[in-house]
Amino acid sequence: MSSRRNFLQQSIACFSLSAIPTGLMAGEKVRHYQLTAEPTPNFFDDKPVPTNLWLYNRQSPGPLISATKGDILDVEFINNLKQPTTIHWHGIRNINEMDGVPDLTQAAVEPGERFRYRFPLNDAGTFWYHAHNKAWEQVARGLYGPLIVWDSDEISGDRDVLIVADDWLINEEEQIDATSFGSLGHWSHGGRLGNALSINGKFAPSLPIPSAGPVRLRLINTANARVLTFALSSAASGNMPEDQSGDQAGDPSDNLVLRVINIDGSPCAPFDVDRVTLGPAQRVDLEISDASQLKTLLEISTGQTLEAASFKSIATVQTEQTRLTESRPYYPQPNTTNAKLVDIHMQGGAMGNLSSAIFEGEMRGLRDLAVNEQKLWAFNGNIGGYDHILAEINLGEVVVVRVWNDSAWPHSMHLHGQHFWVNSREFGTEQRPLLRDTYLLQPREKADLVFVADNPGMWLFHCHMLEHHASGMGGVIAVS
């Protein structure tokens, strides 16, 4: 495993996007980008590489899209894949036609075709974009990238460090394991779990940071299904023998205090933790008060300590502090007295209690659905899909989506087009009101996702464990 990680270190990715460039072209209102999705057989000179990646602009992650709140983002998208695709702008409270959901908000972009995404960026924060057609394969092959929207008065530069994490399933031939796409085992359990963790498209990279003073880390989990837990250590990496690097526990007494300042892009009342867990698609911004302490990024979700990245001090030219914690959430917690209640009973999967469900109007046994239709999960007894309407909401109504995870698996539940308030149990035992767009729901947990339906359109609500979505965990909240 470790040699595999090394072998691929130079190869799977092209550009490290660890430090975000300064020079945000103040006053420029329309941000133009071009993104091309294409098979990327060999993009790193003559090194052996996975030859079956699909990437945006031949980079992993795709290019950083950077803009200022209030800008218009204008992306010319070209599909050079052999299958249809779309781009979804995860976390953006978008206009519905630009949300990138095939057959719901737009027709899929066919091979060889183009599509122009153009929409305003009304919120600052850490977002990302990814393919949304057959996402369980397209995202797994690399079709995603970061999207950062700055507050106009934020100071960027080398105090702002992007950490895009992905979990790849690599086979013995050092290729993306393609034979397991569609594996019923993955789809009925925790989704497609990988065997190699990349940070900014590299395995165990060294990330430049300023030598002292505060830094902001923006963490994004782009994995298909892996729930990641990160800690930061003041102990330097590289002291462990190579073939044991995944097996030794770091000394937790070296772990730094992490100050959480933004969740899924939205500012929160800052709080301190010693680790952060990110379900698929979630983001967390951390403020670290003293960069000189920052040495190693650890991933600890498996109970073993993996050195995901190291930090290397660089002389910083920029002495100003970033303005980190002054913003407010996009909107306050709504009053739910007259809210519209939407109950969602989530069932299915292995070791679950779902024996039959309605699929395309017909009640069928779960075994039949699994074997013949690859459907395994249900909302309220229905196998979900893009045509499954969960609720019809009047514009402006306050909505409580009451989710009940009545299954044996965690689920990373994502609502398109808005952010919801939730009393989160994701950071320790204390419940914490947070504004999120994706909530990691533990087995048997119930939670209320509360939002003001002020954005008209057909909005997907689904599990971001991409295999779960494909096999039934999805539906539409219609706001008009």
Which residues in this chain contact Cu ion in the complex, by CB under 5 A? 411, 463, 465, 468
Nearest Cα residue to 235 out of 282, 185, 296, 317: 296
Cβ atoms of 69 and 121 within 8 Å: the answer is yes
Cβ atoms of 395 and 456 within 8 Å: the answer is yes
CB nearer to ligand C2O: give 200 or 221. 221
468 belongs to the binding site for ligand C2O (CB under 6 A): no
Residue at shortest CB range from ligand C2O: 90
464 belongs to the binding site for ligand C2O (CB under 6 A): yes
Residues 210-249 that bind ligand C2O (CB under 6 A): none
CB nearer to ligand C2O: give 49 or 434. 434
Residues 248-287 that bind ligand C2O (CB under 6 A): 281
- Selection from ligand C2O, Cu ion, none that 465 binds (CB < 5 to 8 A by kind) is Cu ion
Adjacent-strand bridge partners of 36: 78
| Distance between CA atoms of residues 63 and 35, nearest Å | 8
Dihedral angle over CA of 19, 22, 24, 26, nearest 10: 160
CB nearer to ligand C2O: give 205 or 279. 279
Shortest Cβ 415–ligand C2O spacing (Å): 9
88 belongs to the binding site for ligand C2O (CB under 6 A): yes
| Distance between CA atoms of residues 268 and 259, nearest Å | 11
CB nearer to ligand C2O: give 189 or 462. 462
Span interacting with ligand C2O, options 223-231, 367-375, 426-434, 458-466, rule CB under 6 A: 458-466
Size of the site for ligand C2O (CB under 6 A): 10
416 belongs to the binding site for ligand C2O (CB under 6 A): yes
Span interacting with ligand C2O, options 233-241, 425-433, 447-455, 456-464, rule CB under 6 A: 456-464
Q: Cβ neighbours of residue 254 under 8 Å, at least 6 residues apart?
A: 233, 234, 235
Q: What is the DSSP string of 394-424?
A: -TT-EEEEEEEE-SSS-EEEEESS--EEEEE
What one-character DSSP code corresponds to residue 7?
Answer: H
Q: Which of 31, 58, 90, 202 is close enough to bind ligand C2O by CB under 6 A?
A: 90
Backbone angles phi, psi at 287, to 5 degrees: -105, 125
CB neighbours (10 Å) of residue 4?
A: 15
CB nearer to ligand C2O: give 223 or 286. 223
Residues 95-134 that bind ligand C2O (CB under 6 A): 130, 132
Nearest Cα residue to 147 out of 83, 82, 98, 81: 98
- Selection from ligand C2O, Cu ion, none that 460 binds (CB < 5 to 8 A by kind) is ligand C2O
| Distance between CA atoms of residues 230 and 300, nearest Å | 6
436 belongs to the binding site for ligand C2O (CB under 6 A): no
What are the residues binding ligand C2O (CB under 6 A)?
A: 88, 90, 130, 132, 281, 414, 416, 460, 462, 464
